[in-house]
Amino acid sequence: MNRQSEDCVIEIEEGIKVIPGAGAVIAGIDKIANWGRISSMWPAVFGTACCAIEMMTAGSSHYDLDRFGIIFRASPRQADVMIISGTVTKKMAPVMRRVYDQMAEPRYVIAMGSCACTGNVYNTYSTAQGCDNFLPVDVYIPGCPPRPEAFIDGLIKLQEKIKNEHLRWSRWR
Amino acid sequence: MPEQKGKLRKKELTINMGPQHPATHGVLRLELDIDGETVVKCTPHVGYLHRGTEKLGENRTYLAALPLTDRLDYISSMANNVGYCLAVERLFGIEAPERAKFIRTMASEMARISSHLLWLGTHALDIGAMTVFLYAFKEREWILDLFEMLTGARLTVTYPRIGGVRNDVSEEFLSSLYKFTDEFPKNIEEYETLIDQNRIWLQRTKNIGIITAEEAVNWGLTGPMLRGSGVDYDLRKYCPYDAYDKVDFDVPLGKNGDTYDRYRCRMEEMRQSARIIRQCIEKLPEGPVMTPDAPKFTLPPKERILKDMEAMIQHFVLVIKGPVTAPDGEIYSAIEAPKGELGFYFISNGTGKPYRMRLRSPSFIHASVLPLLCEGALVADVIANIGTIDIVLGECDR
């Protein structure tokens, strides 16, 4: 925190300034919206296979995702980011797309694990070769399964991505 | 539906639970017909994680199919690896050396503890006790660290090999594991303090999801599901494999066959697992960890491949053809995985690849018992029932 004594403005984040006592914030609208978004990413859990266990581990006591403001939500309607952790089968793909469609915008997708990224060793009749066939993926986290540290790194990458976004006055992104 | 005048139609409401539901432990889908709060009919739908593992097994050599077994029951991948290796070893008629057997036993029991801890955490979380989840995952992290020390991987280990294990254990690992077995029983007591006397826990588990001993046997249940109903059946005792005949342990049994009894069974099993690991460390014999037949089944080290022609040829043959000494015939081999009896069935036609690989996964059989548990019960108890059968969909759908 950087207090500037002459005009009593506190810069709480790069480009976002607060005037204490006045209840006012000085910032570009992009900056302030992104700042709000990165600090409270609520993921809709879509654990399908092995990676879901590592995702749970990342959310539990040792790794503690709460410190990033990340709290798992069961309902897609209350979520900002969808974490696809595990193999996506052809039977599962329509369900996954439907859950994605239920999420409110802006929405992001993280493909966790090699199966969700590319299909991994499961090059079979029943497995979709990566969830980017039917979803716009923002961050890919490879690994079989990725360690919780790698998963957290993926989340931070997504935060950086959101930080640099510009607010577009259009309905589609 | 066309309305009929003067007649009040009464119909059950059909609700769909899953596949995206936090309490279904993966991608299980249940179709529930409910009348108020009572479940009239329950239809489980599986197959949302059908990855074609059995088919892939047919197209890979015996060596190359091993990593696929990790991803069946991914919570206890070590037990699957051991089951697979044992089945292939029995097919080829070879045996792992004594030291490898003890290491495998030890590692399988570590997998059992990790699986039961995850079960405890998620089951309690579903029923409404969040703290247990955080406590259980603390110790689970410890177990995963030990796995990493032993194998280099946390979850998908691929540690056992056909005819032994990949690498020997270090003294450092053994002493850390010994320390774990020292402290772990105290942690189990901690979990029990949290929920054993908890009135909500008791109300939600006692007399919920009762399976009688006869029903359990008829439905083909195994593992804690069967033992919770009081049937004394444990493959580790009655058909010992690896070093289970050389260690001393009890098989905990339930009485009523309800959710609470199964909970007690699993808690006691964790204590017994710690006991087995301790004995394994104490009795660990010296010697090699791979069978003398190993060159037929394992790839030679990379340095030798680059220098030695024989090793190069051996490497090539193993990768392209697989171990070609496979006899004709078929074999069923089962182990006691944390969830129940995990069986591998191979039909061999003398080539390096199985003609058919079939899995008898406990989760699939346990999922089939859900209608029996849920019909006539309340909707809230469906969650408790899904928790208590302890299924993993990777293994169920294969």
Q: Name chain B contacts of A72, Cβ cutoff 8 Å.
A: 22
The DSSP string of B99-145 is HHHHHHHHHHHHHHHHHHHHHHHHHHHHHT-HHHHHHHHHHHHHHHH
Q: What is the pTM of this model?
A: 0.87
Chain B's closest residue to A60, CA to CA, is B134
pLDDT for residue A153: 92
In total, the C-beta contacts within 8 angstroms joining chain A to chain B are: 92
Helix (H) or strand (E) holding B75: none
Domain spanning B53-295+326-360: which CATH class is it, in words? mainly alpha
Q: What is the nearest CA distance from B384 to chain A, expressed in angstroms?
A: 18
Contact B68 A91 (CB under 8 A): no
pLDDT for residue A173: 46
Per-residue pLDDT of A15-28, as tens digits, reads 788 888 888 888 87
Chain B's closest residue to A144, CA to CA, is B156
**Low-confidence residues of chain B, pLDDT below 50?**
none
CA B244/CA B280 separation, integer angstroms: 9
- Pairing assessment for the beta strands B29-35 and B13-17 based on DSSP bridges: antiparallel
- Phi, then psi, of B13 in degrees rounded to 5: -90, 130
Mutate to test the interface with B, among A45, A50, A100, A127 (most CBs of B within 10 A): A50
pLDDT for residue A169: 52
Confidence check on the interface: ipTM exceeds 0.85, yes or no: no
Write out B172-203 in H/E/C secondary structure: HHHHHHHHHHHHHHHHHHHHHHHHCCCHHHHH
pLDDT for residue A140: 92
Helix (H) or strand (E) holding B236: helix B235-238
Contact between B359 and B366 (Cβ < 8 Å): no
CA A83/CA B20 separation, integer angstroms: 12
**What percent of chain A stands above pLDDT 90?**
6
pLDDT for residue B92: 84
pLDDT for residue A171: 47
Contact B22 A45 (CB under 8 A): yes
pLDDT for residue A71: 84
The per-residue pLDDT of chain A, averaged, comes to 83
Question: What sign results for the dihedral spanned by CA atoms A92, A97, A102, A105?
Answer: positive
In this model, does residue A168 exceed pLDDT 70?
A: no
DSSP A139: E
Contact A57 B68 (CB under 8 A): no
Contact A122 B134 (CB under 8 A): no
Chain B's closest residue to A48, CA to CA, is B26
Q: What is the dihedral of CA A119, A120, A126, A130, to 10 degrees?
A: 0
Closest by Cα among B187, B169, B255, B225 to B337:
B225
pLDDT for residue B4: 58
Q: Residue with structure tokens 């890919």?
A: A140
One-letter amino acid of B262: R
Per-residue pLDDT of B364-383, as tens digits, reads 998 889 888 888 888 888 88
Name which of A60, A99, A127 is nearest B134 (Cβ-Cβ): A60
Per-residue pLDDT of A138-151, as tens digits, reads 899 998 889 899 99
Domain regions of chain B by residue span: 53-295+326-360
Strand partners, B39: B34
Of the given ranges (A50-59, A162-171, B305-314), which has the lowest mean pLDDT?
A: A162-171
Contact B48 A54 (CB under 8 A): no
In this model, does residue A135 exceed pLDDT 80?
A: yes
CA B27/CA B394 separation, integer angstroms: 9
| Helix, strand, coil tally for chain B in percent (to 5) | 50, 15, 35
Contact B56 A122 (CB under 8 A): yes
